[in-house]
A = this chain, B = another copy of it.
Amino acid sequence: MADINSTFDIGVTTGPIRGSRKIHVGPLGVAMREIDLEPSSGEPPVRVYDTSGPYTDPAAQIDIRKGLPQLRREWQLARGDVEEYAAREVKPEDNGQLGPDRSGGVPAFPNVRQRVLRAKPGANLSQMHYARRGIITPEMEYVAIRENIGREQIAREMDGNSWGAAIPEYVTPEFVRDEVARGRAIIPSNVNHPEAEPMAIGRNFLVKINANIGNSAVASDVASEVDKMVWSIRWGADTVMDLSTGRNIHDTREWIIRNSPVPIGTVPIYQALEKVGGIAEDLTWEIFRDTLIEQAEQGVDYFTIHAGVRLPYVPMTAKRVTGIVSRGGSIMAKWCLAHHKESFLYERFDEITEIMKAYDIAYSLGDGLRPGSIADANDEAQFAELYTLGELTKRAWEQDVQVMIEGPGHVPMHKIKENMDKQLAACGEAPFYTLGPLVTDIAPGYDHITSGIGAAMIGWFGTAMLCYVTPKEHLGLPDRDDVKVGVVTYKLAAHAADLAKGHPAAKVRDDALSRARFEFRWRDQFNLSLDPDTAEQYHDQTLPAEGAKTAHFCSMCGPKFCSMKITQEVRDFAAKQNSESYLAATAPVADAEKGMDEMSRVYNETGRELYIGQGDREHD
């Protein structure tokens, strides 16, 4: 990874992704990457969707103590519906009872905004609200340009099966507006996170992926958390969830949000539980509400709210093999049981929605009763909760608040589609956001793969965002390498889903890479791949010589057996013939004697010499 300029003084990874140039397109300066191909290819650069933010832009000045530029600030103010006010004061319990001397704590972010934004009384900042009033926001325009990457380059063949989605040949701002208005897509965009580059999550857009980061009671520190965010967006994470549960939860989040060009999600109940010393039954609406405001003012773009874990559903989990595996779900189940009352998240749902619309925070309605094992997939508890999430979706939409729905979990392949079908029906096509699902339980250490299989499939069926799983799932906390493997695995799963759905430009990158592979343009092959560093490293382990990167063979077959080289000869030969007459001469085979000697002579003149040349090289 020689070309990554790790600036250790600021603790995050910067520098271009190898082989890519950062570009900014149109008046909004929509960020993309362009991969230049070798001149011999005669091909134009390949543009790819880019989530990495300014960190991969050599022209950007990165200082994580200052945070990123406020891309959306002007757009927000121009709408005239926001007011600035003094932010809620940070309390000791926000950071796990960190005292004024801050001993044991991370440094506070040095540039905290004392004044924050929210909707003026009676206003609603939600992108859905604008959309429903017919307003195309700059966020929607940004999304349209971003989603169209590559579509101008191709003949717009729609080769795929989208299972009833409505993927357009070309994404217009009006299309984005319409999707948001209908609730089929969301643009998570808290007014206090103006640093974020707008992106859409919806079944008719490219499939997105989320990476989870966060410290826990056991390990982690702020510098590594910020870098995990930067590192995960470098490799393709479209959003990042901060699932911190230890101390310093408030300050860590501030560092992350101020430096994040992608939407940030959280599960506010985690922090609320910290504030009551970890005793679920001591949670109250007031503490929870205060936590929502705290995080809203910091700029969290979507909240996971487990409002579907209702009291009567809790006993449905008693006979499961793995009960309740969602942290938020189990906290709420415990609260419900301890008080023998309906969940305050459910009862206060409309009040939560009031907060969401004042900052434009999107709901990510949590699946607190998702299955934690193959045995528990698609059971009564899971679907009871899903129907409640559908009911809550409609209630949120009544206030024009954006919603997505979280999904499982652990599901064998034959039960995956039922999840998608039921979600679409129950939740009115609100975007589905699933964790995998894992298609078997027996491969701890490889659950990025067991879940990548399920993720690719459910992404194809219509899931809008896939929450990544790392190799450490079920075993430990992911490190930097695990985060990268998780992100790349999910990026390839999401892309496979885009291909299968028939997204018009999804094939552009596959085809460019395959042509590079066929023509032995090794560097183009590396640069076009999701992880150019690993691709080159693996190649070099077998053939380290620099010359091997321009050799017209590879280590699998060696120079003499190379099937791709032989194919090139076949192609050259076929090109020399009139294809029609060639076929006429060869089919039916029984009549093919005529002309064979002549064709054999032509072939041997065109193909054999080059081939022997390669063979000779090996026998030197």
The reply to whether the CB of A311 lies closer than 8 angstroms to some CB of chain B is yes
Asked whether B342 lies within 8 Å of A589 as measured between CB atoms, the reply is yes
Which residues from chain B contact A98 at a C-beta distance below 8 Å?
none
Q: How many copies does the complex hold?
A: 2
Asked whether B566 lies within 8 Å of A330 as measured between CB atoms, the reply is yes
Which residues from chain B contact A375 at a C-beta distance below 8 Å?
507, 510-511, 514
- Of B413, B443, B526, B588, the residue contacting A531 (CB under 8 A) is B443
- Of B333, B495, B599, B611, the residue contacting A442 (CB under 8 A) is B495
Which residues from chain B contact A507 at a C-beta distance below 8 Å?
374-375
> Given contacts A477-B542, A538-B471, are A317 and B600 in contact (CB under 8 A)?
no
CB within 8 Å of B: which A337-373 residues: 337-342, 372-373
The reply to whether the CB of A480 lies closer than 8 angstroms to some CB of chain B is no
Chain A, interface size category, equals: 35 or more
The reply to whether the CB of A206 lies closer than 8 angstroms to some CB of chain B is no
Asked whether A479 lies within 8 Å of B560 as measured between CB atoms, the reply is no
> Given contacts A281-B604, A440-B492, A440-B495, are A502 and B414 in contact (CB under 8 A)?
yes
- Of B217, B471, B566, the residue contacting A333 (CB under 8 A) is B566
Asked whether A218 lies within 8 Å of B543 as measured between CB atoms, the reply is yes
Stretch of A11-19, A69-77, A320-328 contacting B (4+ beta carbons < 8 Å): A320-328
- Of B327, B413, B477, B587, the residue contacting A497 (CB under 8 A) is B413
Tell which of A160, A410, A501, A535 has the most Cβ of chain B within 10 Å. A535
| CB nearest to A273 among chain B residues | B561
A536-B570 Cα distance, complex, nearest whole Å: 51
- Of B310, B324, B492, B608, the residue contacting A450 (CB under 8 A) is B492
The reply to whether the CB of A40 lies closer than 8 angstroms to some CB of chain B is no
CB within 8 Å of B: which A148-162 residues: 160-161
Shortest distance from the beta carbon of A570 to any chain B beta carbon, whole Å: 6
Asked whether B311 lies within 8 Å of A555 as measured between CB atoms, the reply is no
Asked whether A488 lies within 8 Å of B541 as measured between CB atoms, the reply is no
Asked whether B567 lies within 8 Å of A330 as measured between CB atoms, the reply is yes
- Of B442, B518, B535, the residue contacting A444 (CB under 8 A) is B535
Asked whether A340 lies within 8 Å of B597 as measured between CB atoms, the reply is yes
A69-B529 Cα distance, complex, nearest whole Å: 47
Stretch of A139-147, A249-257, A573-581 contacting B (4+ beta carbons < 8 Å): A573-581
Asked whether B582 lies within 8 Å of A315 as measured between CB atoms, the reply is yes
Asked whether A571 lies within 8 Å of B318 as measured between CB atoms, the reply is yes
Shortest distance from the beta carbon of A252 to any chain B beta carbon, whole Å: 15
| CB nearest to A495 among chain B residues | B440
Tell which of A321, A475, A495 has the most Cβ of chain B within 10 Å. A475
Which residues from chain B contact A514 at a C-beta distance below 8 Å?
321-322, 372-375, 410, 441
Asked whether B216 lies within 8 Å of A321 as measured between CB atoms, the reply is no
Which residues from chain B contact A279 at a C-beta distance below 8 Å?
611-612, 615
| CB nearest to A452 among chain B residues | B449
The reply to whether the CB of A27 lies closer than 8 angstroms to some CB of chain B is no
The reply to whether the CB of A292 lies closer than 8 angstroms to some CB of chain B is no
The reply to whether the CB of A557 lies closer than 8 angstroms to some CB of chain B is yes
Stretch of A82-90, A120-128, A425-433, A453-461 contacting B (4+ beta carbons < 8 Å): A453-461
- Of B340, B496, B511, the residue contacting A321 (CB under 8 A) is B511
Asked whether A476 lies within 8 Å of B541 as measured between CB atoms, the reply is yes
- Of B442, B489, B597, the residue contacting A446 (CB under 8 A) is B489
Asked whether A460 lies within 8 Å of B570 as measured between CB atoms, the reply is no
Which residues from chain B contact A263 at a C-beta distance below 8 Å?
none
| CB nearest to A332 among chain B residues | B566
10 A-B pairs within 8 Å (CB atoms) are namely A217-B560, A280-B566, A323-B564, A323-B568, A340-B595, A374-B514, A441-B513, A441-B517, A445-B537, A446-B492
8 further contact pairs, Cβ within 8 A, besides A327-B561, A440-B495: A218-B558, A219-B542, A270-B561, A333-B566, A338-B607, A341-B596, A452-B452, A471-B538
Interface residues, chain A, with chain B CB atoms under 8 Å away: 160-161, 216-219, 245-246, 270, 273, 277-281, 310-312, 314-315, 317-318, 320-327, 329-331, 333-334, 337-342, 372-375, 410, 412-414, 439-446, 448-450, 452-453, 456-457, 460, 471-472, 474-477, 479, 488-489, 491-493, 495-497, 499-502, 507, 509-511, 513-515, 517-518, 525-526, 528-531, 534-535, 537-543, 554-561, 563-564, 566-571, 573-575, 577, 579, 582-583, 586-589, 592, 595-597, 599-600, 603-604, 607-608, 611-612, 615, 618-619
